[in-house]
Amino acid sequence: MTTFITVKRSPIVLIRTLALVELTFLAIYLLATLPDAYKLQIFNRLFFAKLFSYDTFKLFFLSAVQLAITVFVFLRWYYESYTVSPTSVSHRWGVFFKKSKTVPLHVLTAITPSQGLFGKLFHCGSLRIKNESASTSLVVADVSRHLEFLRVIRRAADPVSFHEPPDVETLLSRDEHDRLEFKLSLRVDVKSQQVNRALEKAVMKTVAAFLNTKGGHLVLGVNDRREPVGLHHDYGTLQRPDRDGFENHFTQVFNAMVGPEFRHLVKLWFHALNDAEICVVQVARSPRPVYLSFDGGEEFFVRTGNITTALKLSEVDSYKRSRWPSRASERM
């Protein structure tokens, strides 16, 4: 997603508000038309009292106030909007003083749709967006086709698409972050030229963390300076020393440590840069928790900034409830 998508509150909300304004002013008008000698005395002291009758002025004044409030209500609706960009969800509002609130997509933990009787009747609803640090960060209120807007936000928050190859040059131009990491090889310690299973575990830790968080890209065959050095070290240790053999070995390791049921969420893309072939491991976010199995034990990893972090047992359950709230409600 490279464009901005903006939606407004449903026009039904504007009509509802205007109806409330009309009812309010009907009540005010009825009260204003009640006989009141004190109001008439005040009017007679005004400099234009000789130009208008009291009843004419009263009608003009109430109509002017009603028009002003109606225009204000319309402008308030007109200037309020919700925007999804490639990196954030924002809410903008205000007539005389513009205000805005923005929530970065990378800190979203849950989006809960809701629809009351009013929304069911007029096909609109709300979205309650939660982030990592606050119970409620943003409410997208009363928008038409709110479930479609929910899908837009989720696609923006999880931009990994297996239909198009990733932009390698863009990836290599960026520093590591919560959705991007670089590693020199899959299994070979380049200094000792020996196969090291700990390196395979390090790769799978990152993949599992991407699955448990927001997805991302792991680039293999790149040094600390983000320079492509190639996968020839790994190729030389495989029975089939090419990209097919590399992917087959990756799949075997993945199935053993992560699980074959998650393999469809990971795609390998190979690229040749400066006579060096590198591999971009593209990882989508998982719809359920992923554990890493190694030497008979299980660990749970997530991405925190540009590092992969193992959660303690006491932290895993809380994280799962916030990351997969629908699954938590299913268990209850």
Whether the per-residue pLDDT at 331 is higher than 50: the answer is: no
Task: Give the pLDDT of residue 274.
Answer: 85
Question: Are domains 1-157 and 168-331 of this chain identical in fold?
Answer: no
Q: Please list the residues that pair with 78 across neighbouring strands.
A: none
Paired tokens of 105: 């997509």
Task: Give the pLDDT of residue 33.
Answer: 64
Rounded percentage of the chain residues whose pLDDT exceeds 70? 86
Residue 33 vs residue 222, higher pLDDT: 222
Average pLDDT of span 126-141:
78
Max mean pLDDT among 3-7, 131-135, 168-172 falls in: 168-172
Paired tokens of 20: 């409330």
pLDDT, one tens digit per residue, over 265-274 is 999 999 999 8
Task: State how far the alpha carbon of 250 is from the alpha carbons of 103, 186, 202, in Å.
Answer: 36, 8, 13
Of the candidate ranges 26-35, 85-94, 248-257, the one whose mean pLDDT is the lowest: 26-35
pLDDT, one tens digit per residue, over 288-313 is 999 999 989 999 999 999 999 999 98
H or E element that contains 316:
helix 313-323
Which fold, 168-331? Answer: 3.30.950
**Per-domain residue ranges of the chain:** 1-157, 168-331
Task: State how far the alpha carbon of 66 is from the alpha carbons of 3, 18, 60, 70, 301, in Å.
Answer: 40, 10, 10, 6, 59
Write the burial class of residue 231 (CB in 10 Å: 0-12 exposed, 13-18 middle, 19+ buried): buried
- How far apart CA 52 and CA 114 sit, in angstroms, is 52
Task: Look at domain 1-157 and name its CATH class.
Answer: mainly beta
Q: Please list the residues that pair with 138 across neighbouring strands.
A: 129
The pLDDT-based confidence of 106 (bands split at 50, 70, 90) is low
Q: Please list the residues that pair with 140 across neighbouring strands.
A: 127
Task: Give the pLDDT of residue 24.
Answer: 85
Q: How do beta strands 216-220 and 180-183 pair?
A: parallel
pLDDT, one tens digit per residue, over 176-194 is 999 999 999 999 999 999 9
Average pLDDT of span 136-141:
84
- How far apart CA 130 and CA 153 sit, in angstroms, is 13
The amino acid that residue 243 corresponds to is R
Task: Give the pLDDT of residue 300.
Answer: 97
Average pLDDT of span 229-247:
96
3-state secondary structure of 161: coil
Average pLDDT of span 14-21:
90
State how far Cα 297 lies from the chain centre.
33
The pLDDT-based confidence of 279 (bands split at 50, 70, 90) is very high
Task: Give the pLDDT of residue 152.
Answer: 87
131-148: b (≥16 Cβ within 10 Å) or e: beeeeebbebbbbbebee
Write the burial class of residue 294 (CB in 10 Å: 0-12 exposed, 13-18 middle, 19+ buried): middle
- How far apart CA 199 and CA 274 sit, in angstroms, is 25
Task: Give the pLDDT of residue 111.
Answer: 84
- How far apart CA 238 and CA 247 sit, in angstroms, is 10
Residue 47 vs residue 144, higher pLDDT: 144
- How far apart CA 77 and CA 9 sit, in angstroms, is 7
Whether the per-residue pLDDT at 109 is higher than 50: the answer is: yes
- How far apart CA 302 and CA 153 sit, in angstroms, is 21
Q: List Cβ neighbours of 44 (8 Å cut-off, separation of 6 or more).
A: none
Q: What is the dihedral angle through the alpha carbons of 92, 94, 99, 100, rounded to the nearest 10 degrees?
A: -10
The pLDDT-based confidence of 164 (bands split at 50, 70, 90) is confident
Residue 111 vs residue 257, higher pLDDT: 257
Give pTM, 2 decimals: 0.57
Q: What is the DSSP letter of 312?
A: P
